[in-house]
Amino acid sequence: MKYLCLAYSPSPTARAGCVAAPPLTDAALVEARDLNQAIRRTGEFLQNNNAAVIRRIDPTSTSAGATGPANREMTVKYLCLVYSDEEKLHSLPDSPADTECQAYAESVASSGRMLAAEALEPVSSATTVRMRGDRVTITDGPFAETKEQLAGFYLVDANDLDEALEIAAGIPAARVGSVEVRPVRQLQV
């Protein structure tokens, strides 16, 4: 199974009298046979004092194996995180059907820009992992209570932010939610 692991910085930020969720600092796709193995592998992925949300990826969604642009060193990877109100996602008039989402993912894949795209299981299936020193704490549920939950993602190759934003704007769920677009940081190893 595949799991999406999202790492967050340890402290939330305050804005206008309310507490916002901490910023996302890293993301990884983890192959694991079960949630316990995903948690162990996420513990290796986390740095001290970070927290992570682990979400199992829906095995029925699209994962494109396109080779991508011929000149890959000239492109940047962008993670398009799709957020929506999980309770309303499929009930609003503009809500996309799974077939529309599949068709869009296939069109991005056929353009050679898709690296991966997956829908996520409901937020109730999330597990949060916190690493404090040598101690791992595991909590059922999402990292933070929010109006919108992470519903899926696209990992794309794009020439620049404008192209990544154009891809994100076409994601059908953007009509009823939002899409956060972030460049992927290359590790300095």
pLDDT of 146 reads: 65
Q: What is the DSSP letter of 120?
A: B
- Per the structure, the count of domains in the chain is 1
Confidence of residue 189 (pLDDT cuts 50, 70, 90): confident
52 found inside a domain: yes
Q: What's the predicted TM-score (pTM) here?
A: 0.62
Q: Is 65:146 a contact under the CB 8 Å cutoff?
A: no
Q: Which domain does 132 fall in, by range?
A: 2-12+21-183
Lowest mean pLDDT among 44-48, 60-64, 84-88, 138-142: 60-64
Whether residue 110 is contained in a domain is answered as yes
What was the pLDDT predicted at 143?
A: 61
- pLDDT mean over 121-137: 83
Question: How far apart (Å, rounded) are the C-alpha atoms in residues 177 and 189?
Answer: 36
pLDDT at 142: 63
3-class DSSP state for residue 94? coil
Angle between helices 161-170 and 98-110 (to 10 degrees): 150
Model pLDDT for residues 56-113, shown as the tens digit of each residue: 776 544 444 444 444 445 678 999 999 888 888 888 889 999 999 999 999 999 999 9
Provide the 8-state DSSP code for 36: H
pLDDT at site 11? 60
Q: Give the percent of the chain with pLDDT over 90.
A: 22
Asked if the model's pLDDT at residue 115 lies above 80, the reply is: yes
Q: Are 69 and 114 in contact (CB under 8 A)?
A: no
pLDDT confidence bin for 170, thresholds 50/70/90? very high
DSSP label at residue 21: P
Euclidean distance between CA atoms 106 and 88, whole angstroms: 25
Domain membership flag for residue 86:
yes
- Tell me how far apart the alpha carbons of residues 147 and 128 are, in angstroms, rounded to a whole number: 18
Residue 8 lies in a domain: yes
> Burial letters for 148-157: b for 16+ Cβ neighbours within 10 Å, e otherwise?
bbbbbbbbbb
> Which CATH number characterizes residue 156's domain?
3.30.70.1060
Does residue 70 belong to any structural domain of this protein? yes
